[in-house]
Structure 1
């Protein structure tokens, strides 16, 4: 439904039909694959980010990371995490589009994550699980880089602010 231009009336009709036929839980299609994508993504992201940041600081001979170090570490860590978790993003998209297919051809039943993965591989090969890698990396790498650079800058700013405040109080 996200890829189609639906009016609010059409969107309401789709949602109403789904809820009437399958209950309120039908609105959470794709939740399982989303969790399977986001939890490993976060673990991979933070682990790689800290490793890259530490290595670049060591190579540069500095204790605190620069904006360039945090930006490049965030982009690299986000790219790795996005690539490794892309199959679950592809499955999530397939799972969510089942809602539209179910409404259009009300004979289909919902597929499990593993059934969808097997279907994708049988129809498109293993590479089918990595459909959309370029758009995903184009979105994720800069988003992660900007997010972590902003986070690290804010952390550094407030650490200095608190340090100065503590020095004035002593």
Structure 2
């Protein structure tokens, strides 16, 4: 459903009923963990493959809680040609892990918990900046890139996921 105040797709009413939110053609439900919900989304196959290649599945299935800014397949498609195929190779695992953990923040932060100008410290250690307005939420990365939250508040049993349209990049 669309939230009238920010234009984002949110799950507030769906979560209250326990129904969940549709993402990538699959119902994301609060009784599943972040990984299991993402694995059902046709829009997150690249992210799920990357999480597996980086060896982060067990971490993101743990109790958390985590807030994940989850790039869609279309977000990964914006990267230069060959980037994703290169990142999922064994020799690039440290770089891939750094990029993926840059999309994860400790705690469970819904869109309502995010404020304009808020600085979030990622699991990777670097910062993200929240840009919030009447039209929605954007996340600014260390290199000045901006990702728009296209679906907010996908609630899982170990945190919350916000679907984003751009892969965030750490400074180094």
Structure that is richer in helix per residue: 1
Higher strand content, 1 or 2: 2
Please say which structure displays the higher CA radius of gyration.
1
Report the TM-score when normalising by structure 2. Answer: 0.22
Tell me the TM-score normalised to structure 1 length. 0.22
